[in-house]
Amino acid sequence: MSTPIDRPRDVSPILEAVVLPVRAGQEEEFERAFAAAVPIISRQKGFRDLRLTRCVERPNEYLLQVQWEQLTDHTVGFRESDDYQLWRASLHHFYDPVPAVDHFVDVLRG
């Protein structure tokens, strides 16, 4: 079975998923900073949508899900852009440790 890196537009998008471990006590400040940073990511080529949710059991952890047209829209287009440096400066100081980012494609939807 092949593992497609870039997918045609008529196929389900790439889902970037990352658990964001925010330093305890900085949750409200993080949420404000994240809301202010949304325009940075939403103007990127291939960006479709994002969702940020907060963990009930561990309120300093958030789940970020971003839909991209293609993997390279995130890994090359955004990550190698000047905008990514703005994104990093706005948000990465909240994380401890630095989170791991994974990418997924739909296999089954119900």
- How many C-beta atoms lie closer than 10 Å to residue 65's C-beta? 14
Distance separating alpha carbons of residues 72 and 7, to the nearest angstrom: 10
CA angle centred on 73, ends 41 and 26, rounded to 5°: 35
Per the DSSP assignment, residues forming a β-bridge with 67 are 15, 49
Tell me the pTM: 0.88
- Domains in the chain, CATH or no CATH each: 14-96 (3.30.70.100)
DSSP code, position 73: I
User: pLDDT tens track of the chain, all 110 residues?
Assistant: 444 555 454 567 999 999 999 999 999 999 999 999 999 999 999 999 999 999 999 999 999 999 999 999 999 999 999 999 999 999 999 999 999 999 999 999 88
